[in-house]
Structure 1
């Protein structure tokens, strides 16, 4: 009974985190979803592309349920990091559609297997896992990247998941935080 509850709880949270990531692209231009917003090139569409690839690996390959589309090899050093940005040939619609297909494939794995189903993650130091371990890992990674997306979106246009406040509130709040930070210098 607890196994079913845990699996359903983690799966529901994963679905919510996926939606949160996609929401951050809404209303933005092609340029804004693709442009590098950090020194390492992190961008919103790249986060979506990255999450799609790794869901197919973790909730597909790891359990002997390969994604029906070609994927770069996980151990190919040339491919490493290319999943964090969309090429000029990849449209936003294609990346988002792949994300949805990857999620559907992952969901089918989660629904088909018991939470203690064995899997093998060859790139982990302790490669023998259960579905539970992988679900926790994928949920953690998805929520981490959803947080990145929150910050990137806020940098772009100020949109946040925070309660709606006016510009004056946030200006005063930032000034208060700056005062505290300055006081900590002493």
Structure 2
């Protein structure tokens, strides 16, 4: 066994742990919300919580499925050639009225399971192809794809955190630990402090 072989399992575990932390954070942002708040556009560009979940499901299905020749079983209609992104580039960014929250969350969880099985089956040095990337960058290792997925998932977890805060003030990383240094009634005083600093700096 080489040193690389010995390190790979723990490196895989680290990468999957960071990916799973982001996955869980995104789903937690739906907790306690009614259908309208879970789906409604919350920014001028239409960012919505259930749409973020749907988008990330598609991202995982692509990067940890097709990229490595491991197609996802029974993909949803919006991912097929007939009804997919070429016909509606926003299809993965919001839930239609006939897609239930359970449908979208269930798809995301199935995407996790499929992706985790890919990671388990392959070496981090295994090479796949991302067909939607430019030709000069299409060949990728599993390691690179996992780093990409962690970055994308946590980016969207940040989006979800901000838009959820705008709905009802709920914020933080997870239910059992917000990872925020201010809690409860301390936020107005902190916000006022930031406001005063900004006004002073602006003259």
TM-score (norm 1): 0.94
Change in Cα spacing, 1:76 to 1:33, as seen in structure 2 (3 Å) is closer
Which 5+ residue runs of structure 2 have no aligned equivalent?
Answer: 1-5, 173-179
Residues 72, 79 of structure 1: 8 Å contact kept = no
Change in Cα spacing, 1:75 to 1:122, as seen in structure 2 (3 Å) is farther
Partner Cα distance (2:55, 2:64) in 1: 14
Shift, 1:113, TM fit = 0.5
Residues 56, 106 of structure 1: 8 Å contact kept = yes
Q: Tell me, what secondary structure is at the counterpart of 2:43?
A: coil
Which 5+ residue runs of structure 1 have no aligned equivalent?
Answer: none
Shift, 1:16, TM fit = 1.4
Matched, 1:79 2:97: no
Residues 4, 115 of structure 1: 8 Å contact kept = no
TM-score (norm 2): 0.87
Per the alignment, residue 130 of structure 1 pairs with: 141
Shift, 1:98, TM fit = 0.5
Per the alignment, residue 166 of structure 1 pairs with: 184
Per the alignment, residue 23 of structure 1 pairs with: 28
Partner Cα distance (2:184, 2:38) in 1: 25
Shift, 1:165, TM fit = 2.0
- Deviations 1:56-102 (Å, cap 9, x if unpaired)? 00000000000012323498432312101000010001100011111
Shift, 1:164, TM fit = 6.0
- Written as runs of structure 1 = structure 2, the 5 A alignment for 1:5-154 is 5-70=10-75, 71-73=79-81, 76-125=85-134, 126-154=137-165
Partner Cα distance (1:60, 1:138) in 2: 13
